[in-house]
Chain A
């Protein structure tokens, strides 16, 4: 268990290519941090810098307050789990886990104790004599984690550990990693491009884009209060719908925007007077769009396709020439078919507003999403269900 501090950390290749730009981050002791971002955003580079596999071009890195920029990975006391597991193919499971301990010249009984302990935690005991080639993907992943645990590191680093597994195994390993963190209470930094993994595992998520931190926060903070367009679209699946609009009237409690189709909408989001008249973007998540009747709903759209997931349905709507279709998520089965015209509403309390540069205007309170506060009864949750779909055939 250790805390990690990154102070203006950056990484440059040559003169021009700066892949990590001045990262400031404080990871608390015992915290599970997930770094998430699209491919090429520098998240793996950042992790490898923390590990000590990449040089740090500038800034400082501190583990428990000690400056570690120039320390080797083993001196930093990290344990790392690689995407391809990187098990030593010629050693059996036991030797794989013991290799680092032997190099550290620990006494034999201590090595045996640690390896057996981590094998027990990960239920690897029956496999200790096997070679990696005789293990399944999930087992190999567990051995890779076991090898990291046996080192008793201050910091666990996971580099996209689940991306080589099939979907079912991925869910299972995700739960195992979460359980492991609860059990060991260790500080974990976990890199993934999969926002579902980020949402489910993280205590705090770091969203990285082009070498910059876009936002740091708990999963629900990021979901409800994205700091900018990028985070808003990156977190949540299907992603948030964005539509161009103009800010007509700014206000301290609510603002009026004119949408792309000329309709006006009042949203409970404060905006500064200086922004009045500028171009903004209105965002709304797929599950927050409500159906209305074709006769009196303010907006109409044609249905392009419908995806039936069984537990939910995604509708892709063509709502005027906006580039990409909107997505509406329905927690039920739906009778809407491609080619139908539907009416819908944009509930103002669920709307997000972004300025011209993509930065969001901060929403008040917990947004409109029902939040469970410790010590309080769960509030009555009202689903934005489709009351009826008034469909013209």
Chain B
């Protein structure tokens, strides 16, 4: 049977939607299951039903208050926010220097920055540990801010340098003629124009800092300074034979939600940030 053009189009559409559906289910199901489990207690946890059966908020209360995940959440929030702030401040000024100021060895510095980001975390862990001890930051969230900033900077500097290079020099010169100094040019002229890429890189730095586990586990020893990923990892049940699934799931949901909200808020800007400079707008 020969299909009409319209029928062919319809068929193609069907397969695309089917594929999209499969991908979304695979992506979303673990999270859905976490939400489901977090609302169950006791023997319900091991039900195979994929529909919500009970709504118990005990797990959330337990995890956040009694197990101290609430405090860890606050720590994570402080660490991630300060990391993003420091990271953007340092990288936009660094990007300005690398993109706009001519000096000897500029190319090599850029290349070195790129190389630094190739090291795996484990490779620098022990060195970082010594550094943290030396600076007296061991067991404080300062250690995490320092290490996360170090690790997000190369990427952020690269993205912002590339973007800043694409901005016309005349814009900067117009600002100079208008009497703007270096800081005014960066903060009042470049930063607003670079909004989308700042949001994108900032968000990536935030997610990185929010999810990081190894440094957080190594540099923090006391419970009250822990960040959320470690706190969840170390959640313990009543006995050593019990894994508190309900609490773990509740805490996981609480940790994931802020990231989802952030991404949804900045969704449009992320897309324009990632494509900025690719095509002249």
Interface residues of A (CB under 8 A from B): 51-53, 72-74, 78-80, 82-84, 86-90, 99-100, 103-104, 147, 151
Contacts and interface: CB of A to CB of B under 8 A. Distances in A.
Contacts of B174: 80, 82, 86-88, 147
A376 to B, nearest CB: 45
15 contacts: A52-B176, A53-B173, A73-B176, A74-B176, A74-B177, A78-B177, A79-B177, A82-B170, A82-B173, A88-B189, A89-B193, A90-B193, A99-B175, A100-B178, A100-B179
B11 to A, nearest CB: 41
A83 B174 CA distance: 11
| Interface of B: prevailing SS | helix
A88 B170 CA distance: 10
Contacts of A147: 174, 178
B30 interface: no
Contacts of A73: 176-177, 179
B61 interface: no
Contacts of B192: 90
Contacts, number: 56
Nearest to B170: A86
B42 interface: no
Given A51-B177, A82-B173, A88-B175, 13 more contacts: A53-B173, A73-B179, A74-B179, A78-B177, A84-B168, A86-B173, A88-B171, A89-B193, A90-B193, A90-B195, A100-B177, A100-B178, A103-B184
B180 interface: yes
Of listed A72, A79, A103, residue having the most chain B CB within 10 A: A103
Nearest to B178: A100
Nearest to A91: B192
Of listed A79, A89, A104, residue having the most chain B CB within 10 A: A89
Nearest to B169: A86
Nearest to A78: B177
A142 to B, nearest CB: 15
Interface of B: 168, 170-171, 173-180, 184, 188-189, 192-193, 195
A84 B177 contact: no
B173 A103 contact: no
Contacts of A72: 176, 179
B169 to A, nearest CB: 9
Contacts of B193: 88-90
A53 B171 contact: no
Given A88-B189, A90-B192, A99 B178 contact: yes
Given A84-B168, A86-B168, A90-B193, A104 B173 contact: no
Contacts of A51: 177
A221 B195 CA distance: 53
A389 B175 CA distance: 60
Of listed B174, B184, B189, B192, residue having the most chain A CB within 10 A: B174
A354 B179 CA distance: 48
A25 B178 CA distance: 26
Contacts of A84: 168, 170
A87 to B, nearest CB: 8
A250 to B, nearest CB: 52
A83 B184 contact: no
A147 B180 CA distance: 14
Nearest to B192: A90
B168 A80 contact: no
Contact of A53 (B176, B179, B195): B176
A79 B188 CA distance: 20
Nearest to A153: B177
A103 B171 contact: no
Contacts of B180: 99-100, 103
Contacts of A78: 177
Given A88-B189, A89-B193, A90-B192, A103 B178 contact: yes
Nearest to A101: B178
Contacts of B171: 86, 88
Contacts of B188: 99
A72 B193 CA distance: 25
B117 to A, nearest CB: 30
A90 B189 CA distance: 8
B60 to A, nearest CB: 42
A166 to B, nearest CB: 19
A72 B178 CA distance: 10
A82 B108 CA distance: 33
In the complex, the 8 A-B pairs of residues with the closest C-beta atoms, listed nearest first: A100-B178, A74-B179, A86-B170, A86-B174, A90-B192, A82-B170, A73-B177, A103-B179
Contacts of B184: 103
A309 to B, nearest CB: 35
A82 B177 CA distance: 11
Contacts of A151: 178
Of listed B174, B178, B188, B193, residue having the most chain A CB within 10 A: B178
Of listed B176, B177, B184, B193, residue having the most chain A CB within 10 A: B177
A72 B182 CA distance: 13
A384 B192 CA distance: 62
Nearest to B194: A90
Nearest to B189: A88
A88 B191 CA distance: 12
Contacts of B176: 52-53, 72-74
Contacts of A100: 177-180
Contacts of B175: 88, 99
A53 B175 CA distance: 11
Nearest to B176: A73
A149 to B, nearest CB: 13
A83 B170 contact: yes
B170 A74 contact: no
Given A53-B173, A82-B174, A86-B173, A104 B179 contact: yes
Contacts of A87: 174
Of listed A51, A87, A99, residue having the most chain B CB within 10 A: A99
A321 B27 CA distance: 79
Contacts of A99: 175, 178, 180, 188
